Amino acid sequence: MSPPRKGTFMGLVLVGLQGLIFLAVGTTAFLTEPWIEGSLWAGTTLILLGLLGMFWSGKDLGRALTPMPMPNGEGLAAGGIYGYVRHPMYSGIIAIALGLAIGSGRLWTLVSAVVLVAFFEVKTRLEERYLVEAYPGYGAYAARTGKFLPGLGKRRQG
C-alpha cells in the first residue's frame, strides 16, 4: 500500500462537500416554496447538455479521471473537449445544476446552483496549483484555454 499523497485529506473533504452541494441542488428542486418562473424546456436542455459534456470529458480524460483535486499521474488531458475548456466535467455539473434550477423554478435550487459554481471556482484554484506543479506545460495551456466556458477565465501566466 502506498503512502497517502499530499493533500489527500483536503481532497476528500472537497469531494464530499461537492457531493453535498450537488445533493442540495437536487433535493431543493422538490421543495414547494419559494417559487420563481421556470422553464422545463430550457432546464431539460441544460441538463442534457451537461450530461453530454460530462460523458465527453470523462471519455477524453480516460485514466486521468479522478474526483480528487490532485492529478493521479496518468497525464494531462489537453485535447478533445479539454482543448476548449480546462474543467469541462465541472461545466457539465454546473449546467445540470442550473438546468434543475431553471426547470424546477425553485429559488433554493438556484441558490444551491450558485453555491456550487462558487465552490467549483475555489476547488479549481486548488486543483490548478497541483496541476502547475505536476505538469510543466499546464501554465501555458491554462493561459490559452477557458476555465468553464471556451475563451472565458483564461489563467494568467506567472
14 inside domain: no
Distance from chain centroid for Cα 58: 12
80 within domain boundaries = yes
Q: Which residue has the cell 472537497?
A: 14
DSSP 157: P
Classify residue 43: in a domain, yes or no. yes
Structural domain tally of the chain? 1
pLDDT, tens digit (0-9, with 9 covering 90-100), for 16-37: 888 888 888 888 877 777 667 7
**What is the pTM (predicted TM-score) of this model?**
0.85
Query: pLDDT digits over 50-73, tens only?
Result: 999 999 999 999 999 988 888 888
> Residue 56's domain spans which residues?
20-27+37-67+74-144
Q: Is residue 121 part of a domain?
A: yes
Q: Are 86 and 132 in contact (CB under 8 A)?
A: no
Residue 6 included in any domain:
no
